[in-house]
Every structure is written in C-alpha cells, then in structure tokens.
C-alpha cells in the first residue's frame, strides 16, 4: 500500500509514521509513505499556497493551483489513484471504510488547513471527503494519520497476529470484551475465574456475552443501528 500525503506542515506527520507498527510495516516493504510539502508547488517567488477568500471573510483558503500541480506530479510518476480530502464536513470515517480501503493499492491524501481548500479542488480533484468525527482539528494532518494508521494495520502481514485485528472493537459492530493479564490476583482485584479455567467454549461464550454487554452499556447506538 502506498500513501501520498500532501501537507502544508509536513513535520506534523513524521513521528507517528516512524515508530512501532507503521515503521515496521515500512521496513518490511508492506507500506510506502511519500510526504509532499505543498510549498514546493506554491505559486510565484513566495511559493504561495493560500490566499484571501473571494467575497470577504476571515481565514485563508488553500489555492487550487499548488494542489493541482502536486497531484498531477504524483499521477504522472505513479499513475492515477483515488484522492481523499480530510475535512470536518466530510463523511464520517468508520471501520468499514478502513477495511475496504486496506485492499486498495494507493491513495493521495490532502490535508486541509486554514479555512480549507478552494471549492474547485473538491469539485474537480477530490474523489472522497472524510471526517474523523464531529469536532474540529486545527489541520488535516492528525486526521490523515488516523486514516493511515487504521488502514495500514489491516494490510496482511502488518500485524504479527492477523487474528488480533479481527477481534478489535467495531470489527463485528460490537465493542471488544475486557482483557486481563498476569497476575491473576492483585490488590484483592481478581481476574474472572472463567478466563483461568482453560475451557475454550466457556471462554468464548463469556467474551461474546461481555462484548454485547459492553456495547449495550457504552454504545447502544451500535446495536440499534
Ligand atoms: Cl478530517 N480535519 C479537520 N481539520 N478537523 C476534523 C477532521 C478533519 N475530522 C474531524 N475534525
């Protein structure tokens, strides 16, 4: 899987992509991430990437030309691919999207800043607009990282134990059941007996019941959806 991420503040993207599971996936060649500084495609001597909005109003708007140039450069080198724009007014990103998109070969992700991008970018260059929830971030970089992380961990070979991803919360529209590790007794707080019993069928039943119970308590909307 190849991600091409276009950003006006590329330094924001470095660290989360260079550690732990994602760095290991990059080392193994399962994941390839290219980061583009939008200023390199800026207009004029100042390498301008944003401007005042027509009609007046506070906040700068990201210009169409730098984004067009950057996307065309990526297309000409790597071929056509889907372009995702992360924006608070996009469709809410769900685990089902991560599952589906983990089977694609490559994506371009545009990180918005300021007041967002010129509408012509959205109308003519972008295929998919996604938000990561009903709140506003100062820029799209954190949202782009959320997408890259949640999609990448589903690529075969990225997680050491493939079955682990299947038992995550949301994978079956339920939250995950509680988990415990050693010691079995700490401070008078005990691990449920069934988990120590070695009885696989009982453990499976208990986990199913707890997943349902947890979901009913914390996210009843997932059950009634
Ligand atoms: Cl994708 N971008 C920004 N700036 N804020 C957000 C978001 C995205 N999703 C939720 N809030």
Judge residue 15's burial from the number of C-beta atoms within 10 Å of its C-beta, 0-12 exposed, 13-18 middle, 19 or more buried.
exposed
Q: Is residue 164 part of a domain?
A: no
CA of 163 to the centre of ligand 1 (A): 30
Nearest CA-CA partner of 33 in 6, 8, 70: 6
Give the nearest ligand 1 atom to 137 CA: 5
E strands along the chain, which residues?
2-7, 32-37, 50-52, 60-62, 82-92, 106-111, 128-131, 185-186, 189-190
CATH classification at residue 212:
1.10.1270.20
CA of 86 to the centre of ligand 1 (A): 6
Q: What's the pLDDT score for residue 225?
A: 64
| Shared domain check, 211 and 109 | no
CA of 113 to the centre of ligand 1 (A): 10
Residue after which a domain boundary falls, among 152, 184, 205: 152
| Shared domain check, 117 and 55 | yes
Give the nearest ligand 1 atom to 139 CA: 4
For ligand 1, whether the C-beta of 143 sits within 6 Å is yes
Q: Which domain holds residue 112?
A: 2-152
Residue after which a domain boundary falls, among 122, 152, 182: 152
CATH classification at residue 60:
3.40.1280.10
Q: Is residue 161 part of a domain?
A: no
For ligand 1, whether the C-beta of 140 sits within 6 Å is yes
Our mutation pick for probing the ligand 1 site, out of 113, 136, 139, counting the most ligand atoms within 8 A of Cβ, is 136
Distance from the Cα of residue 110 to its chain's centroid = 13
Q: Tokens 């509680």 appear where?
A: 178
Question: How far is residue 128 from each of residues 56, 97, 115, 119, 168, measured CA to CA in Å?
Answer: 28, 11, 18, 14, 25
Q: What's the pLDDT score for residue 161?
A: 80
| Shared domain check, 74 and 33 | yes
Our mutation pick for probing the ligand 1 site, out of 62, 116, 131, 135, counting the most ligand atoms within 8 A of Cβ, is 131
| Shared domain check, 141 and 177 | no
Per-residue pLDDT of the chain (225 residues; tens, 9 = 90+): 999 999 999 999 999 999 999 999 999 999 999 999 999 999 999 999 999 999 999 999 999 999 999 999 999 999 999 999 999 999 999 999 999 999 999 999 999 987 899 999 999 999 999 999 999 999 999 999 999 999 999 999 999 887 778 788 887 889 999 999 999 999 999 999 999 999 999 999 999 999 999 999 999 999 976
pTM exceeding 0.85: yes
| Shared domain check, 179 and 137 | no
| Shared domain check, 36 and 146 | yes
Tokens of 184: 């079995």
Q: How many domains does the chain have?
A: 2
């Amino acid at each position: 899987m190849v991600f091409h991420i276009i950003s006006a503040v590329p330094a924001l993207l470095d660290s989360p992509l260079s550690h732990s599971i994602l760095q290991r996936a990059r080392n193994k060649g399962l994941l390839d991430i290219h980061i583009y500084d939008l200023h390199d495609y800026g207009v004029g001597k100042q390498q301008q990437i944003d401007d005042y909005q027509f009609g007046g109003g506070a906040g700068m708007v990201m210009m169409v030309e730098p984004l067009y140039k950057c996307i065309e450069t990526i297309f000409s080198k790597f071929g056509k691919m889907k372009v995702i724009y992360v924006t608070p007014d996009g469709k809410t990103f769900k685990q089902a999207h991560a599952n589906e998109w983990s089977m694609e070969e490559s994506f371009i992700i545009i990180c918005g800043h300021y007041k967002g991008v010129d509408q012509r970018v959205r109308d003519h260059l972008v295929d998919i607009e996604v938000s990561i929830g009903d709140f506003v971030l100062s820029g799209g970089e954190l949202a782009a990282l959320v997408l890259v992380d949640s999609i990448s961990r589903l690529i075969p070979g990225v997680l050491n134990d493939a079955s682990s991803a299947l038992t995550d919360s949301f994978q079956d529209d339920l939250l995950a059941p509680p988990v415990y590790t050693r010691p079995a007794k700490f401070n008078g707080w005990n691990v449920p007996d069934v988990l120590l019993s070695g009885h696989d069928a009982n453990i499976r039943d208990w986990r199913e019941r707890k997943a349902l119970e947890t979901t009913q308590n914390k996210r009843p909307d997932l059950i009634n959806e």
